[in-house]
Amino acid sequence: MLKNNGFEFLDFINVKETSICQYTPLAGSFAVLKCDGKYLLGYNTLRKQWELPAGGRESNETPKECAIRELNEETGQYVTKLVFIGLIKVRKISDGHIKYNPVYFTTIENLLPFKENIETSEIKLWDLNEEIGFIDSVDKKVLDYIDKNM
């Protein structure tokens, strides 16, 4: 079941990482991790839904550093070999504001142990078909795109 959190997915933009500064505003990064043919999701306790690891950049942090940090903070996975695969373009439904989020991807052999935290109560590997409850609609579009193109 899809859950809308105020943003509408508009497009996945294939662009080189060196060109992302042309897209403004450049918002927080997504980290997509594939393990055993499934995608890593975390259960967000605040929004009560499954989500990809993602979040805003801290001061002086690159988009890739942001993706690495968010992946680690939210899921306990520490992976530095993330590959930039493009930008997503989303629109805030309430005011029409457009933003661009960098998306990074990798595959791994095994998950590291997970510790529950203030934002994420559990993690799971999802095959895109199993009924898991609510998932963010933008995240689902990102996963569908990656599953077809990576």
CB 29 within 8 A of CB 70: yes
The pLDDT assigned to 64 comes to 98
The pLDDT assigned to 4 comes to 86
Q: What is the pLDDT of residues 102-124, one digit of tens each?
A: 999 999 999 999 999 999 999 99
Strand partners, 41: 124
CB 19 within 8 A of CB 90: no
The pLDDT assigned to 18 comes to 96
SS (H, E, C) 30-64: EEEEEECCEEEEEEECCCCEEECCEECCCCCCCHH
Residues of the chain with pLDDT under 70: none
Q: How far apart are CA 86 and CA 65, in angstroms?
A: 15
Full-prediction pTM beyond 0.85? yes
Reduced to 3 states (helix: H, G, I; strand: E, B; else coil), residue 133 is: coil
Q: What structural domains and CATH numbers belong to the chain?
A: 2-149 (3.90.79.10)
The pLDDT assigned to 5 comes to 86
The pLDDT assigned to 150 comes to 85
